[in-house]
Structures are given as C-alpha cells and as structure tokens.
Structure 1
C-alpha cells in the first residue's frame, strides 16, 4: 500500500495562464480528459479551476466563457500537498477543505494532482468509488 502522495498522484498537471479564457480551458479539459487545471500568474500558482467551477461560476451566472478568464473562475484558496506528504495528510486536507482534487507542489512547482478517485483506488479498490475510478472513462 502506498504511503506517500507521490505514489498515488497523477504527474504533470495541466497549468494555464491566468488570462486564459474559460472556453479555452474547457476545450483543454476535454482534450486532456481531465476535470481540473491549475491557474498560473507568471511563475506563481494562483488557483485551481474545475469543470464544476466553469459551470457554477461562469455558465450558470450567464458570463461569456470567451470573455471570462480562468482567474475569475478559479477557487480563491489554493490548498496543496507535497509529494513527500503521507497519504493520510492529503486525506485530512481534502476533508478539512472539502476538496475533490489536491495539487501536489514541490519547491513551488506543480508536479502532480491527487484526486478522491486516486485515493479510493489506493485505499479501498473494491469500494464503489475505487471501482469506478479504476475504470476507463466513457466518452
């Protein structure tokens, strides 16, 4: 059983510039088959924007996805883990902040993303979430 975040994270997360349009972010999520992208302001991580953020903060409020930036749509607080953190620490962070995805940062650089599904596959692969998360996506 994995003990460190680096053992369960998905490496090389997608990061977009803060001024990237929501429309472009949505297309990137579709093309990469992912549900979240990191938002960068220069070299600094500014936030995380999810497919749900795009729906709730942009589409449901009738904002134009071509004119709204990912910086406007991203979560205001960025909570991260280190690749060397114990998995239990990542679980506590996700519970405490009600997160489904947790960026993994090493020396200020995003190196991975860990999701509830990743943790379910690792900790309880026979659970419904573990089983679903281990399956191939249906497109």
Structure 2
C-alpha cells in the first residue's frame, strides 16, 4: 500500500492564467483528457478549476463561458499537499475541505495532482471508484 502522496499522485500539471476564458480552459481539459486545471499567476497557484466548476458555477448560472475568466469561477487558494506528505493526510484534507483533488507542490512549484480516484486506487484497487478512475473516458455521445 502506498504511503506517500508521490506514490499515488498523477504527475505533471496543466495550468491556465486567471484571465483565460472558461472556453479556453474547457478546450484544454478536453485536449489533455483531464477534468481540472490549475489557475496560476506566473509560478503562484491562485486556484483550481474543474469541469464541474465550469458547469455548476458558470453555465448553470447563465454566465457566458466566452467572457467569464477561469479566475472568476475557480476555487481560490486551493489546499495544497507535498509529494512526501502521507496519503492519509491528503485524504484527511479532502474530507475536511470537501474537495476531490489537491494540487501537489514541491518547493513552491506544482508537480502533480492527487485525486479521490488516485486514493481509491491506492487503498482499494478493486473498488468501483478505482475501476472507474482507471478506465479510459467514453467519448461517445449518449442520449
């Protein structure tokens, strides 16, 4: 069983500027096949933007995704973890802050993201959540 965040995290990060439009962020998520991007002002993480944030905080409220910025919709000042933090500490932070993803930062620089799915795979690889996290996304249109 993995004990450190670095053993379970998804390495690498994708980031957008705070002034990037939600359309830009969504297109980047689609191109990278991910559900979140960091919102960064230079080297400083100022927020985390998820596909759910775009849907619930913007589109569902009638906000124009062409003009709304990532910085205006993201979760500001996200809770951070370090690669050498215990997995249990990351899980506790997710629970305490009711979030599904945490940016992983080392020496002030983002190095990855740890998600609820990552933790599920590490703790219980046979769980439904772990299986869903491992599966390739379904890009077929459904009705």
Which sections of structure 1, spanning at least 5 residues, go unmatched?
none
CA deviation vs aligned residue, 1:28-86 (integer Å, no higher than 9, x gap) = 00111100000011221100000010011111111111111100010123101000001
Structure 1 distance, partners of 2:2, 2:137, is 24
CA deviation vs aligned residue, 1:89-124 (integer Å, no higher than 9, x gap) = 000000000111111011111000011111111100
Structure 2 distance, partners of 1:125, 1:47, is 30
TM-score (structure 2 length as normaliser): 0.94
Alignment pair present for 1:60 and 2:92? no
Which sections of structure 2, spanning at least 5 residues, go unmatched?
none
RMSD (Å), alpha carbons: 0.9
Structure 2 distance, partners of 1:63, 1:137, is 27
Alignment pair present for 1:15 and 2:15? yes
Structure 2 distance, partners of 1:60, 1:137, is 23
